[in-house]
Amino acid sequence: MNVAIYLRKSRHDRDAGEEETLSNHKKVLLELAKERKYLVKKIFQEVVSGESIALRPQMQALLDEVKSYQYDAVLCMDIDRLGRGNMQDQGLILDIFKTTKTKIITPRKIYDLDDEIDEEFSEFEAFMARKEFKIIKRRLQAGRIRSIKDGNFISNRPPYGYRKVSDGKSTFLEIDEDQAKIVQLIFNMYTKERIGGTKIASRLNEMGIPSYTGGKWISSVILHMLTNPIYIGKIRWGFINRRPSLAPDKKMECRRRKEDEIIMADGKHPPIIDIDTWNKAQEIRTKKVIPKLKKNFSLTNPFAGLLTCGKCGRHMSITRKSRKKTKNPETRIKYAVCNSRASGVFCGNKLTRLDYIEEKVLEEIKKRLADFELQINADDYITENHKLQLLEIKMKNTEKEIQDLMAQLDRIYNNFERGLYSDELFLERQEKVKKELDKARERLKLTKEEYIKEEGHQRPTESIPILRHVLDVYHHLSIRGKNLLMKQIIEKIIYTKEKHQKNDDFTLDIMFKI
């Protein structure tokens, strides 16, 4: 995206000094352009503080170039920096941006004036630009964000495993050794023993280990810790959006923000958890490898989390039935049934004995193994393996090239911020490196696509020993062990059985991972 930067010192910035204020604003907007990979074509720096467009030559020059469709967007600190004069000036500026479909981008929002809502919002903001409180609030928030990006911890309460300390200028975290051991224990139980949040909380309570508040541990706290990047040395800000609730019985509304709205920065604090353990925990959490169990209940379905209804998409659950009355549940036959029955709106997918499904799944695994064994050709494999290695080398070299170009781009920005480059030299060198970077990224994308294609050719060779192992050990495992094993090779099992079908006559659509 080709952008221009517009800088103007407001009356409220006079105390800070003209050069200092514009320099700070330029630094923020250049960092924004750097983060979002915008191509800065020109920087307009207004040194006068006139409210009228007639008194601002840089604004006049900017509007002339916007009218000639030279930019996709204009970056500025706040929308009121473009025009805070009379309504006629404000209307003229907004009308030019709307007609040319040029976006206005600030550190907190992107305004698309071709969108009716954004247009009304921009007009409202222009009207409210003189409200001192909002401007001060925005600048305070910018200060917080700057502090977070510097690696500081600005929240009131430190997370479990850390202490909050200060060096007089900033506040950051240091490890609480006693609590850090508990954090590591929690991650180990989750990733190595494969037990969920409820059971981890129970174990900690049984061991007499107090929680952060000194009370009992609960599963929600455990799960929050397992997904908190603070433990790998990161600072996350804006993860939860808290705002006053419109409901009379609630004070606050809490919502998770989108990923692109969250700030993630390297913290000054050391990590407690290594990156491999962290990634493993996120993989387990995302893929739901550990099924949820009700308290005092054990797993009864080897396909828990995998078996879904082909009619409504709900997960299938297990029920027990017997033609003879018996109080012993172990003598009753297990059936897989769609959860829509429990909701009162049955989708019509007939239930089936679980052992029938189990037999058919194992048969499908045997068929897949046989198909893979037929595909194997030793000479072809050697050739494909060599090609795969060459593609890996090519990807690594291209990734190294991208890293070097990114470092070069960082040096260009740093030299510009230090005053070593003029605006013209900065724009020239930045554009040259960005073009090279785009070409390298495109090459990497194409190489990755080719690698994935070639990797698919090798999959049979890699999958054969895995499938053989599954078939060899399956009947010797507990239900929980079977479930974990199935989740290593299967993404989803879609089950469908029509009214006319009986016994083991049903359809399974198995989505394999390998």
Averaged pLDDT for residues 49-78: 85
Q: Answer for the pair 490, 482: CB distance below 8 angstroms, yes or no.
A: no
**What band does 379 get if pLDDT is binned at 50, 70 and 90?**
very low
The model's pLDDT over 311-324, given as tens digits with 9 standing for 90+, comes to 888 888 888 876 55
Query: Which residues are CB-contacts of 339 (< 8 A; sequence separation ≥ 6)?
Result: 309, 314, 315, 316, 317
Instruction: Write out the two tokens for 379.
Output: 């000479």
The model's pLDDT over 324-352, given as tens digits with 9 standing for 90+, comes to 555 555 567 889 998 776 556 678 889 99
The model's pLDDT over 130-149, given as tens digits with 9 standing for 90+, comes to 455 456 566 777 777 888 88
What are all long-range contacts of 354-359, with beta carbons under 8 Å and residues at least 24 apart?
354/301, 354/318, 356/503, 356/504, 356/506, 357/303, 357/307, 357/493, 357/495, 357/506, 357/508, 358/302, 358/303, 359/504
* The pLDDT of residue 427: 86
DSSP-assigned beta bridge partners for residue 196: none
The model's pLDDT over 392-403, given as tens digits with 9 standing for 90+, comes to 888 999 999 998
CA distance 97 to 322: 73
**What band does 62 get if pLDDT is binned at 50, 70 and 90?**
very high
Q: Using alpha carbons only, give the angle 248, 252, 254 rounded to the nearest 5 degrees.
A: 130
Helices (H), 344-377: 354-375
Of the ranges 221-235, 353-367, 384-398, 400-414, which one carries the lowest mean pLDDT score?
A: 384-398
Q: In what order do the strands lie in the sheet with 307-309?
A: 307-309, 490-496, 507-512
For residue 451, give the amino acid letter.
Y
**Domains of the chain as residue ranges with CATH:** 2-149 (3.40.50.1390), 162-287 (3.90.1750.20), 293-514 (no CATH)
Q: Residue 158 has what DSSP assignment?
A: P
Q: Answer for the pair 211, 197: CB distance below 8 angstroms, yes or no.
A: no
Query: Which residues are CB-contacts of 208 (< 8 A; sequence separation ≥ 6)?
Result: none
Mean pLDDT of the chain, nearest integer: 82
Torsion of CA 377, 380, 382, 383, to 10 degrees: 180
Instruction: Write out the two tokens for 480.
Output: 């929980």
Most distant CA pair in the chain, distance? 94
Q: Does residue 214 come out as left (phi exceeding 0), alpha (psi in the -120 to 50 range) or beta?
A: left
Per the model's pLDDT, the better-predicted residue between 8 and 324 turns out to be 8
Percentage of the chain beyond pLDDT 90 is 24
* The pLDDT of residue 466: 86
* The pLDDT of residue 133: 45
Averaged pLDDT for residues 427-433: 87
Averaged pLDDT for residues 79-98: 75
By residue count, the chain amounts to: 514
The residue whose two tokens read 């508990």 is 182
Cα distances (Å, whole numbers) of residue 356 to 320, 473, 514: 14, 19, 23
The model's pLDDT over 244-303, given as tens digits with 9 standing for 90+, comes to 565 656 666 777 777 777 888 999 999 999 999 999 898 888 766 555 555 555 678 899
Per the model's pLDDT, the better-predicted residue between 373 and 183 turns out to be 183
How does DSSP assign 216-270, residue by residue?
---HHHHHHHHT-GGGGTEEEESSEEEEE-SSTT-SEEEEEPPGGG-EEEE-SSP
Model confidence at 363: pLDDT above 90: yes
Torsion sign over Cα 188, 194, 196, 201: negative
Tell whether pTM > 0.75.
no
For residue 260, give the amino acid letter.
D
Torsion sign over Cα 61, 63, 68, 72: positive
Cα distances (Å, whole numbers) of residue 311 to 216, 352, 493, 496, 509: 42, 15, 13, 7, 12
The model's pLDDT over 436-483, given as tens digits with 9 standing for 90+, comes to 888 898 899 888 888 877 665 556 667 888 898 899 999 988 888 898
The model's pLDDT over 140-182, given as tens digits with 9 standing for 90+, comes to 777 778 888 888 998 888 999 999 998 888 899 999 998 999 9
Q: Using alpha carbons only, give the angle 60, 64, 66 rounded to the nearest 5 degrees.
A: 115
CA distance 49 to 12: 10
DSSP-assigned beta bridge partners for residue 443: none
Task: Report which secondary-structure segment, H or E, holds 235.
Answer: strand 234-237
Spell 234-254 as b/e; 16+ CB within 10 A means b.
bbbbeeeeeeeeeeeeeeeee
Of the ranges 52-61, 180-189, 457-466, which one carries the lowest mean pLDDT score?
A: 457-466
The residue whose two tokens read 């995302």 is 286
Q: Answer for the pair 447, 398: CB distance below 8 angstroms, yes or no.
A: yes
Instruction: Write out the two tokens for 451.
Output: 């690698």
Of the ranges 70-74, 201-205, 378-382, which one carries the lowest mean pLDDT score?
A: 378-382
Crossing angle of helices 479-489 and 423-473, in 10° steps, is: 130
Model confidence at 416: pLDDT above 50: yes
The model's pLDDT over 230-241, given as tens digits with 9 standing for 90+, comes to 999 999 887 777
* The pLDDT of residue 452: 76
